[in-house]
Amino acid sequence: MMDLERQNPAAAHWTQEQYESATSGEAHARRFAWVVENESGEASKVVAFLVAHEVDAEWELENMAVAMSVRLRGIGTLLLGKLIEIARAQNGDCIFLEVRASNKSARALYQKVGFKETGLRKSYYANPAENAILYRLTLH
């Protein structure tokens, strides 16, 4: 996951500890990670992932990346669909996220599945400094 994230400048850049926490499977964490692998030969390679966190009846999409080699094949839509399905099954009220203002492809994907722009966080991101656009999807 870290290799894929590092290849995507627009993805949230996490530490190894953050990824370990997200994928530990600890029930109390209420954090979920979905991974898409491409099996080629003997080795499988992570080509996409999504990490979300359940906070009461709200869900936060914390991080998501799709490899350039498999973009525009519906994998991002598939991952978001799975998150929406699980959040609804858990009686979630909404899913929220923030995304770099310049990440037009991610913003288009979020809007395609029904997220609405709800706000702005100035200078939220570093390296490079950039505003975050806030999105929310109401589930009911």
Q: How far apart are CA 66 and CA 70, in angstroms?
A: 7
Q: Which residues does residue 104 pair with via DSSP β-bridges, in sequence order?
A: none
Tens-digit pLDDT profile for residues 26-49: 554 588 888 898 866 656 788 999
Position 78, amino acid: L
Find, among 51, 45, 57, 117, the residue nearest to 82 by Cα.
51
Tens-digit pLDDT profile for residues 48-71: 999 999 988 999 999 999 988 888
Q: Which residues are catalytic?
A: 98, 110
Q: Which residue ranges make up each domain of the chain?
A: 2-138
| CATH superfamily ID and name for 2-138 | Gcn5-related N-acetyltransferase (GNAT) (3.40.630.30)
pLDDT of residue 43: 65
Mean local confidence (pLDDT), 84-100:
95
Residue 12 has pLDDT above 80, yes or no: no
Mean local confidence (pLDDT), 100-106:
93
27-39 per-residue burial string, b: 16 or more CB within 10 A, e: under 16 = eeeebbbbebeee
